Amino acid sequence: MRYVLILFLLFATPVFSVQPDEVLTDPVLESRARDISQGLRCLVCRNESIDDSNAGLARDLRLLVRERIMQGDSDTEVVAFVVSRYGEYVLLRPEFNGSNLMLWAAGPLMLGIGGLIGFAFVRRRRTVPADSLTAEESARLTEILRSDVTSG
Amino acid sequence: MTAEIGHFSLILALVVALVQMTVPMIGAHKGWSNWMELSVPAAVSQFALTLLAFAALMYAFATSDFSLSLVTANSHSLKPMLYKLTGTWGNHEGSMLLWVLILTLFGALVAVFGRNLPPHLKARVLSVQAAIAVAFLAFLLFTSNPFLRLAFPPLDGQGLNPLLQDPGLAFHPPFLYLGYVGLSMSFSFAVAALIEGRVDAAWARWVRPWTLAAWMFLTIGIALGSWWAYYELGWGGWWFWDPVENASFMPWLVATALLHSAIVVEKRESLKTWTILLAILAFSFSLIGTFIVRSGVITSVHAFANDPERGVFILMILAVAIGGSLTLFAFRANKLESKGVFSLVSRETGLILNNVLLIVAAFVVFIGTIWPLVADLTFGRKLSVGAPFFDLAFTPFMILIAMALPIGAMLPWKRADLARSIKPLWGMMALSVALGALVLVVQTGTLMMAPIGVTLATWLLLGAAADLGQRVRLGKTELRHSLLRLFKLPRADIGKAVAHAGLGITIFGISAITAWQTEDIRVARAGDSFMVKGARITYEIRFDGAKEITGPNYTATEGDFAVLVDGQQVARLKPQKRFYPVSNMPTTEAAIDIGFTRDVYVVIGDAQDAGGYAVRSYIKPFANWIWAGAIIMALGGLLSLTDRRYRVAAGAIRRQTPVPIVAE
């Protein structure tokens, strides 16, 4: 977080992202536009969504998103349109296909493996259950305890 | 002249580190005590020399010595003194020197306070610590020398990145480094233990305080950085899943796991090899973080110093440190026997679950961070991995951890009766779920975030309370006795409850701000009034105009806003849009009315052609809870750190008087 943002300096002077003149009058459409924008990467920035970025290109993309929405595109159509233009690089949430399956499966897979190893370890270290004493044992125990009390 | 003194002391520090790396290690191997004892004066003088170098650099910044190329590039005579001083570490070279300074500080602390460490272990620990110092001192001197002179000094400097001219950010790096570098201590102890082939409860008792201290600083450092982003970047974002943020978050996750597994080693002499592995991993992630920040391999919002030569150097350090320690681990790990046995339902199992979840979560962050690189190199796909991925892939693990935590925390060691242990928790669980359900019904949004977050946060808070309540036999004995017991409780137990409650508070803050934040964007003219609907209350914001003001090294447009509720003024906010002429950069200074249940956050933007200013206002519910929770977590760590058993272990004066036990 440190050098924080030499970049914010270079690319995204932290002033304003969404400008008042971009906002759609229909709040429902606007909130859809914002949701879509948060998932699209500002191409000239590093790892910032177009919703957060102040760069000129981000603004162009925000306007494009709103334009498509106004023309009646669904959310997926808008995203597909932007991807067809700029490639999958623009998606902040990688597609769920091909080699990316490894990325998406990594967490659950690791959890499975980690869980199994952990379980195997715990089983190996398990104590012999010693909850229940046999009748003989408990009689003997009582005896010991009693003798201890009398002697001590 | 002072710069040359600094330069020479840095070179001397490298020489001392070389000696400290080799002589005590040989001494420990051969059993020569005078060779081993050399580690103590060496560690102390290494620290003194690095401190001298750091002081020389700071002096150069304070006096604006523009004959140093580093000062010219990063400072300016008009800058306020505080920021001249903190500017010492506001750049690659200076921050690296701070990194090394903290590294040597930890070495010196072990040398001075580790009097009752076994001499062999101490010599080996300090020798490993010196090896790390050798690598980074060489890196500093050969690729990033802060003391290089300019043949023709300019009249004035080029200024500091204006975003760094801020108290939150000025003190963020030292905390973060204390955390990052503090983990080197656990690493050195782990490698020393592998060389010795011995890990026992005493070892864990020496390692745990260092890990705890590092973890505390890392927690505070991350919180400071996040808080800074919140108020400085102008839209109130507090976490971006940026590679550099991830670089600090991964060591934090692993250090958290390490803290917990070290307890098992200490109390039950089990999980030894795993704890050693975690200690190695935690510092490895610190090194990977350093590499990510300083090599520019992974594009990040924060990337700086994108010098391939430096990148290659750090990569070499990384390969030797991680590769070497893991190889050593592979050969020696089987020497460490675990003793304790425990059943399926026990505190041990709970802590293993904690470790599995934390490590898998850290792994998810790691793979997400490096995936763009992997996809590009192996599959030729140019893609991005951003916040939406991490939110989706990481959050489930946090939910699982939060769900299991209060139960695991109350299970007894070795063998537990699940039904009996969680008996005090049933009520808490019911209450948490009921509260979550209430939120679900009341809230207008459709996000599941808030109900789940509220349930988990309540569960964690009540769980921590139940844990303490049970320890002091609340309700089972007189209140007076319970209170007495609370005071007599080991600090570590109180610290544990406090830290777990802190996590609950952070989770609540995160879910509340994510689910309920509202926002308003508009052009406002002087005299305009507009309503911003919050989650509970509607705020009226009145724009009373803007004026131009002049600061020490900037000019600014300052807006004047009144915040009203039901016609009553509750706050006056003066956001600024600053311009720093030296660096030719604008910054925003958001104005925030900080509240317990919400922040009112106003930002002023550019003047519009048609008159008026662009204005952005937010109502951010429970924002402060995010950082308050983190600080409470760190406080819990501090409480644990002051536990008597560590003071004894650290060589403090032993108190022979037994602690009286309260009669029941």
Can you give the pLDDT at residue B596? 93
CA distance B186 to B193: 10
Spatial separation of the C-alpha atoms in residues B217 and B313, rounded to whole Å? 27
Confidence label for A2 from pLDDT (cuts 50, 70 and 90): very low
Q: Do A45 and B301 touch (CB under 8 A)?
A: yes
Contacts of B349 in chain A (CB under 8 A): 122
B237 and B293 assigned to the same domain: yes
- Give the side-chain half-sphere CA count within 13 A for B598: 23
Domain identity same for B233 and B377 = yes
Find, among B266, B23, B55, B209, the residue nearest to B147 by Cα: B55
**Structure tokens given for B379:** 């599959």
Q: Percentage of chain A surpassing pLDDT 70? A: 79
- Cβ atoms B504, B399 nearer than 8 A: no
Q: Which residue has the tokens 């089987």?
A: B334
Residue that the structure tokens 């008597």 belong to: B644
Q: Cα(B90)–Cα(B159) distance, rounded to whole angstroms? A: 11
Say if A79 is an interface residue toward chain B (CB within 8 Å). Answer: no
- The full set of domain ranges for chain A reads 6-90
The residue type of A45 is C
Three-state secondary structure call for residue B324: helix
Taking CB atoms and an 8 Å cutoff, what residues of chain A touch B522?
A: 20
What's the rounded mean pLDDT across residues A81-95? 91
Instruction: Show residues of chain B in contact with A107, CB under 8 Å.
Output: 360-361, 363-364, 367, 393-394, 396-397
3-state SS of chain A?
CCCCCHHHHHCCCCCCCCCHHHCCCCHHHHHHHHHHHHCEECCCCCCCECCCCCCHHHHHHHHHHHHHHHCCCCHHHHHHHHHHHHCHHHECCCCCCCCHHHHHHHHHHHHHHHHHHHHHHHHHCCCCCCCCCCHHHHHHHHHHHHHHHHHC
- Say if residue B24 is in the same domain as residue B101: yes
How high is the pLDDT of residue B652?
Answer: 41
Beta carbons of B384 and A14 less than 8 Å apart = no
B482/B285 Cα distance (integer angstroms): 43
Instruction: With a cut of 60, say whether residue B659 has pLDDT above it.
Output: no
- Residue B131, CA atoms < 13 Å, CB-side half-sphere: 23
What is the number of structural domains in chain B?
Answer: 3
Rg (CA), chain A: 31
Q: What is the mean pLDDT of chain B?
A: 87
Q: What is the pLDDT of residues B191-215, one digit of tens each?
A: 999 998 888 888 888 888 899 999 9
Rounded Cα distance, B282 and B656, in Å? 36
* Distance between CA atoms of residues B33 and B595, nearest Å: 60
In this prediction, residues B280-298 reach a mean pLDDT of 83
Q: How does pLDDT run across B227-262, given as a tens digit for each residue? A: 988 888 777 788 888 888 899 999 999 999 999 999
**Residue B532 token pair:** 């911003």
Q: Which of B301, B302, B388 sits opposite A92 (nearest CB)?
A: B388
Residues B232 and B163: beta-carbon distance below 8 Å: yes
Average pLDDT over residues B591-601: 92
Q: Which residue has the higher pLDDT, B487 or B134?
A: B134
State the pLDDT at residue A15.
46
- Determine the average pLDDT of the residues in B397-415: 90
Percent of chain B with pLDDT over 90: 47
pLDDT at A5 over 50: no
Q: Is the pLDDT of residue B653 over 70?
A: no
The verdict on residue B640 lying in a domain is no
Interchain pair B382, A129: CB under 8 A: no
Q: State the residue range of the domain holding B114.
A: 1-160
B287 and B350 part of one domain: yes
ipTM of the complex: 0.81
Distance of CA B632 to the CA centre of its chain: 13
Confidence of residue A98 (pLDDT cuts 50, 70, 90): confident
| Residues of chain B found within 8 Å of residue A121, distances taken between Cβ atoms | 352
**Measuring CA to CA, which residue among B180, B146, B140, B50 is closest to residue B104?**
B50
Model confidence at B654, in pLDDT bands (50, 70, 90)?
A: very low
- Inter-chain touch B614–A19, beta carbons under 8 Å: yes
Q: Indicate the SS3 state at residue B293.
A: helix
Q: Which two tokens stand for residue B354?
A: 């904690």
Q: Rounded mean pLDDT of B609-627?
A: 91
CA distance B578 to B585: 8
Residues B92-111 have pLDDT tens digits of 889 899 999 999 999 999 99
Nearest neighbour of A103 by CB, restricted to B95, B353, B371: B371
Q: Residue B302 is nearest to which of A7, A17, A106, comparing CB atoms?
A: A7
Residues B142 and B263 in one domain: no
Query: B283 pLDDT exceeds 90?
Result: yes
Are B246 and B378 contained in the same domain?
yes
Flag whether pLDDT at B530 surpasses 50: yes
CA dist., res. B115 & res. B648, Å (int): 11
Number of other residues whose CB lies within 10 A of the CB of residue A13:
16
Q: Phi first, then psi: what are they for B591, rounded to 5°?
A: -105, 130
Tell me the angle at which helices B172-196 and B324-332 cross, rounded to the nearest 10 degrees: 40
Domain boundary among B357, B381, B410: B410
| Chain B residue numbers touching A47 (CB-CB < 8 A) | 240, 242-243, 299-301, 384, 386
Q: Are B212 and B640 in contact (CB under 8 A)?
A: yes
Q: Which residue has the higher pLDDT, B172 or B637?
A: B637
- pLDDT computed for residue B658 by the predictor: 44
pLDDT at B297 over 90: no
Query: In percent, how much of chain B has pLDDT > 70?
Result: 94
CA-closest candidate to residue B205, choices B647, B585, B654, B646: B646
* The two structure tokens encoding residue A3: 């050098």
Distance CA B300, CA B373 (A): 12
A6 touches chain B (CB under 8 A): yes
Residues of B in contact with A99 (CB under 8 A): 375, 378-379, 381
Mean pLDDT computed over B410-418: 84
pLDDT at B583 over 80: no
Cβ contact, residue pair A92, B384, below 8 Å: yes
Q: B325 vs chain A: nearest CA distance in angstroms?
A: 22
A110 with B360: Cβ contact below 8 A: yes
User: Do the beta carbons of residue B170 and residue A3 sit within 8 Å?
Assistant: no
Nearest by CB to residue A16, choosing from B363, B415, B616, is B616
Tens digits of residue pLDDT in A128-140: 445 556 777 777 8
Contacts 24+ apart (CB under 8 A), A96-105: A98/B379, A98/B381, A99/B375, A99/B378, A99/B379, A99/B381, A100/B375, A100/B381, A100/B383, A103/B367, A103/B368, A103/B371, A103/B375, A103/B385, A103/B389, A104/B393
Is B301's pLDDT higher than 60? Answer: no
d(CA B538, CA B426): 38
Encoded tokens for A10: 């270079």
Are both B26 and B130 inside the same structural domain?
A: yes
Contacts 24+ apart (CB under 8 A), B465-469: B465/B428, B465/B497, B465/B501, B466/B406, B466/B410, B466/B424, B466/B425, B466/B428, B467/B406, B467/B409, B467/B410, B467/B496, B467/B497, B467/B500, B468/B493, B468/B494, B468/B497, B469/B424
State the first-to-last Cα distance of chain B, in angstroms, to the nearest integer. 70
Task: Record the tokens describing residue B373, joined without a space.
Answer: 């690189």
Average pLDDT estimate for B392-396: 93
Task: Give the contacts of B30 (CB within 8 A, at least 6 positions apart).
Answer: none
Quick one: average pLDDT of B645-653?
55
Q: What is the CATH number of the domain that holds B54?
A: 1.20.120
| pLDDT given at position B14 | 96
B228 to A127: CB separation less than 8 angstroms, yes or no: no
- Residues of chain A in contact with residue B394, where contact means CB-CB under 8 angstroms, are 107
Which class for B493: exposed (0-12), middle (13-18), buried (19 or more C-beta within 10 A)?
A: middle
Residues B233 and B100 in one domain: no
Q: Record the pTM.
A: 0.89
Same domain (yes/no): B277, B403:
yes
Residues of B in contact with A5 (CB under 8 A): 161, 163, 233, 301-302
Least confident of B52-66, B474-488, B502-516, B609-623: B474-488
Contact A127/B at CB under 8 A: yes
Mean pLDDT of chain A: 79
* Contact status of A152 with chain B (Cβ, < 8 Å): no
Q: From the CA of A66, how many Å to the nearest CA of chain B?
A: 16
Shortest CA distance to B520 belongs to which of A74, A148, A41, A18? Answer: A18
- What is the pLDDT at residue B648? 59
Q: What is the mean pLDDT of residues B390-419?
A: 90
Helix (H, G, I), strand (E, B) or coil at B570: strand
To the nearest whole Å, the CA of A6 is away from the closest chain B CA by 6
- Which amino acid is residue B371, in one-letter code? W
- Rounded to an integer, what distance in angstroms lies between the CA atom of residue B427 and that of residue B167? 44
Position of tokens 């070892």? B203
When the candidates are 3.60.110.10, 1.10.8.640, 1.10.1060.10, 1.20.810.10, the CATH number that belongs to A6-90 is 1.10.8.640
Q: Which of B410, B432, B463 is the last residue of a domain?
A: B410
Chain A residues close to B232, C-beta within 8 Å: 14
B39-78, pLDDT tens digit by residue?
Answer: 999 999 999 999 999 999 999 999 988 999 889 888 888 8
The nearest CA of chain B is from the CA of A98 a distance in Å of 10
Instruction: Kindly list the residues from chain B whose CB atom is less than 8 angstroms away from the CB atom of residue A122.
Output: 342, 344, 348-349, 352
Q: How far is A85 from chain B (nearest CA, A)?
A: 14
